[in-house]
């Protein structure tokens, strides 16, 4: 599809026939793109489409195997991340923020380029300059504040401020809204627009198509390592973008549920923790998808962690099939056939340096071992079965899991629990940072698990999927349950009303 004419802004950066090869896969295949000064240019595509590899090429983190990058019309091949930042003004803000929590805002902004008086740090000058940088972005923060004490939203702002302190001309933002509340997202959008007004080019990568339509001037679609199309955002639609992304007609729909689950599987009675949860009680039935809604800080993740034994329970009971159980450690949860798909898959889900097959088998070593020795053939057979069952995209079970896309990493974590034959699975934000096609597959897998009689706890901050997937919805606010809604009665307004604590 031909690219629509962009308004007459100069081209800041161009890629010409960029190719990147990995064993068994062409991650980027002849990418030709132009990025104009002062535009917000969105990039979307399914997990594994090539977006992350493309970012790494632009920032100098990896080198292309063929093709060239032009900056201000001049070929600039083979530059390093340091040159990208300090020579060409190319900075990236990744989902995992690159800050030092123990240092102040100012110390993070000037890390590696500290202001000195002779051999001594000039803290006053750094604080004053940091204050000016923050105010130029419309942010009133004390530059002496330790970064570790800030919310994720403000840490992200510090990352943006750091990039502007390097005189950024091109700022790449990778899923910047994923961990943010609705209010924080609005603040982020305001900041992105301010950067655009200052003439900074923004490459905005997001799976949330509504954000792309709200923010971007143009949108580019990647698929299977190829540049498929670049469009003026105002001249396309969400459904058209999805069609181009997945090369098939696919809407965000939810599989139909048949029957009403009634047999109690998990009972939580008056559960409390010292930190947040207070007197939580509910029942999960066999084959039920029980949704949990609430705003950030409501306690949904803490509840999942308490049931899984990752956080200690100060009072209350947990019963499985009417029998009281004590769960003080995740290993005990696993012995009771409870699995957790965590909110932060990179930190708490995958073991990045291990292979796909090792990650899949990590919680089922007892099943695949004999007399303390791992049965290698059974390990490999289990991994191959799960890769096939969940359609995990990898050229080999021996590939390191960190090299997979986010959606495929999520499938690996799910495969781990399927390999242990869990009866109760806790899904905490299972589709965060996952593309539309992978989302649909995750929905269908969850529905299939429920149809097999598994009990599913489904935590989501995305209202459409919470309403679409859940048989019932329990809403929390500041560590307490504020209400429960049946599927027929649940609406976005009712959930938000209960989530606000009213």
Place of tokens 């689950």: 261
pLDDT tens figures, 226-260: 999 999 999 998 888 877 876 655 445 677 766 67
The residue among 434 and 397 whose pLDDT is bigger is 397
Residue 373 is predicted with a pLDDT of 66
Q: Checking DSSP bridges between strand 201-205 and strand 170-174, what pairing results, if any?
A: parallel
Residue 17 is encoded by which pair of tokens? Answer: 């026939």
Give the confidence band of 479 by pLDDT, cuts at 50, 70, 90. very high
67-86 pLDDT, tens digit per residue, is 999 999 999 988 999 899 88
Q: Which domains does the chain have, with CATH numbers?
A: 11-246 (3.40.50.300), 265-337+422-499 (3.40.50.300)
pLDDT at 246 (0 to 100): 66
Of the candidates 203, 192, 179, which has an alpha carbon nearest to the alpha carbon of residue 36?
203
Tell whether the model's pLDDT for residue 6 goes beyond 60. no
Q: Provide the pLDDT for residue 3.
A: 43
**Residue 4 binned pLDDT confidence (cut-offs 50, 70, 90):** very low
Interatomic CA distance for residues 99 and 42, integer angstroms? 25
| 367-395 pLDDT per residue, tens | 666 666 666 776 677 777 777 777 777 77
Q: Cα(412)–Cα(425) distance, rounded to whole angstroms?
A: 14
CA atoms within 13 A on the CB side of 500: 8
What sign does the CA torsion over 142, 147, 150, 154 have?
A: positive
Report, as an integer, the average pLDDT of 415-443. 80
Specify whether the CB–CB gap between 291 and 470 falls below 8 A: yes
Average per-residue pLDDT in the chain? 84
Asked whether 60 and 236 are in contact (CB, 8 A), the reply is no
Residue 396: its pLDDT value, please? Answer: 79
Of the two residues 224 and 246, the one the predictor is more confident about is 224
More confident residue, 323 or 342: 323
pLDDT of residue 371: 60
Q: What is the CA radius of gyration of the chain?
A: 24
318 pLDDT more than 80: yes
Q: Read off the pTM.
A: 0.59
* Mean pLDDT, rounded, for 92-104: 83
- In this prediction, residue 383 carries a pLDDT of 75
Strand partners, 218: 41, 232
């Amino acid at each position: 599809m031909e690219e629509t004419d962009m308004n007459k802004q100069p081209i800041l950066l161009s890629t010409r026939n960029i190719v990147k090869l990995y064993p068994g896969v062409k991650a980027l295949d002849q990418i030709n793109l132009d990025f104009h000064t002062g535009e917000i240019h969105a990039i979307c595509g399914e997990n594994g489409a090539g977006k992350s590899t493309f970012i790494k090429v632009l920032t100098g983190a990896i080198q292309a195997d063929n093709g060239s990058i032009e900056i201000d019309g001049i070929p600039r091949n083979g530059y390093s991340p340091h040159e990208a930042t300090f020579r060409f003004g190319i900075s990236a803000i990744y989902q995992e923020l690159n800050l030092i929590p123990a240092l102040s805002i100012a110390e993070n902004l000037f890390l590696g380029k500290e202001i000195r008086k002779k051999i001594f740090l000039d803290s006053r000058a750094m604080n004053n300059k940091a204050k000016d940088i923050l105010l130029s972005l419309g942010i009133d923060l004390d530059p002496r504040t330790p970064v570790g004490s800030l919310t994720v939203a403000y840490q992200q702002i510090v990352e943006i401020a750091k990039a502007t302190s390097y005189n950024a001309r091109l700022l790449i933002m990778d899923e910047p809204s994923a961990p943010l509340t609705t209010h924080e997202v609005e603040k982020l959008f305001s900041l992105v627009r301010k950067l655009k007004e200052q003439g900074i080019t923004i490459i905005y990568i997001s799976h949330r198509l509504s954000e792309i339509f709200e923010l971007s001037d143009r949108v580019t679609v990647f698929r299977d390592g190829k540049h498929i199309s670049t469009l003026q955002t105002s001249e396309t639609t969400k459904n058209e973008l999805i069609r181009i992304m997945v090369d098939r007609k696919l809407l965000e729909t939810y599989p139909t549920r048949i029957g009403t689950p009634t047999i109690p599987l998990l009972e939580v009675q008056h559960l409390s923790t010292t930190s947040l949860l207070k007197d939580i009680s509910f029942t999960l039935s066999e084959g039920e998808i029980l949704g949990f809604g609430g705003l950030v800080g409501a306690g949904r993740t803490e509840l999942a962690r308490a049931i899984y034994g990752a956080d200690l329970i100060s009072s209350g009971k947990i019963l499985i099939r009417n029998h009281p159980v004590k769960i003080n450690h995740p290993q005990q949860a696993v012995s009771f056939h409870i699995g957790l798909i965590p909110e932060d898959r990179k930190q708490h889900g995958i073991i990045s340096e291990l292979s796909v097959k090792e990650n899949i088998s990590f919680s089922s070593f007892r099943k695949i071992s004999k007399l303390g020795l791992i049965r290698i053939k059974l390990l490999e057979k289990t991994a191959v079965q799960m890769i096939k069952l969940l359609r995990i995209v990898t050229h080999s079970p021996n590939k390191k899991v960190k090299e997979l896309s986010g959606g495929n990493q999520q499938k690996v974590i799910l495969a781990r629990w399927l390999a242990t034959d869990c009866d109760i699975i806790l899904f905490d934000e299972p589709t965060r940072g996952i593309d539309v096609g992978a989302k649909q597959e995750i929905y269908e897998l969850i529905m299939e698990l429920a149809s097999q009689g598994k009990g599913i706890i489904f935590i989501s901050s995305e209202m459409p999927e919470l309403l679409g997937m859940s048989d019932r919805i329990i809403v929390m606010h500041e560590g307490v349950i504020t209400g429960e809604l049946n599927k027929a009665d649940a609406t976005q307004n009712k959930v938000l009303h209960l989530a606000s604590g009213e």
